[in-house]
Amino acid sequence: MAKSLKKESTVKQPGQGSKKTTVQTTSAMKTSEIRDLIDFIAQSGLNQVDIETKELKLHVKREPDQKVIKSTPAPMVTAPVVQAQPVAVTPPTPAPAQTPASVSPTAGSKTIEIKSPMIGTFYRSSNPDTPPFASVGDKITKGQTVCIIEAMKLFNEIESEVSGTVVKVMVENSTPVEYEQVLFLVEPD
C-alpha cells in the first residue's frame, strides 16, 4: 500500500499573487489523480501551477483563454499587386519559351497594341546591362522579341505579331503586368 502524505503547496499565478492549496499525494501519484488536478486547475482559471514535494515536481501551464471574434464577410475588394523589384535579372541557361504577344488595332488611329499574353513581371531587356529589346522609334519585325515577362520564375520572351515602328512603351521596366495589358503601341508598316 502506498504511503499517503498531506502536503501544503503554494500555487503561483503571474501577476495575481499566490494561492495555497492542500494536495494529498501518495508516494506514487496515479494518472487519474494527475488528471483530476489538471481539471481543477482548468476550472479555477489559473494559467500556471507549480507543485513541488519531495517525491514529485509538477509544472502545469496553459495558454490564456482566447476570444473568438466573428465578423461578417466584407465585400470583396481587389488590391493592386505589389512585387519586390529584383536587383538583377538573368534569364536561365536553357532557351526561354517563345510566346507571341496579342495584337489589337486601336480605334481611330493607325497604331496597333501589343498586349501581354500572361500575368507576370515585365522586363525590357534580358539583364540590366544590355539595351532594351524595343524602344520608342525602333523598327520591329514580326517574330522579333520585344520584351520578357517573368511568370513563376520562368522568363518568357514575348514576340511581336506585327512589323512596324514602336510609338510608345506603355509599361515601366520591372513592373507587374496583367493578362491583356497593353505593353507597346506600334505603327504598322
The whole-number pLDDT of residue 63 equals 61
Mark whether 54 and 123 lie in a shared domain: no
Mark whether 41 and 107 lie in a shared domain: no
Q: How many domains does the chain have?
A: 2
Establish if 38 belongs to a structural domain: yes
Residue numbers of the domain that contains 54: 4-61
Lowest mean per-residue pLDDT among 47-56, 70-79, 107-116: 70-79
Q: Judge contact between 143 and 160, C-beta under 8 A.
A: yes
**pLDDT above 80 (res 82):** no
C-alpha cell at 35: 488528471
**Cβ partners under 8 Å of residue 56, min gap 6:** 25, 29
CATH code of the domain containing 125: 2.40.50.100
User: Is residue 62 very low, low, confident or very high in pLDDT (cuts 50, 70, 90)?
Assistant: low
**pLDDT above 80 (res 118):** yes
Mark whether 113 and 177 lie in a shared domain: yes
User: Is residue 68 very low, low, confident or very high in pLDDT (cuts 50, 70, 90)?
Assistant: very low
**pLDDT above 90 (res 155):** yes
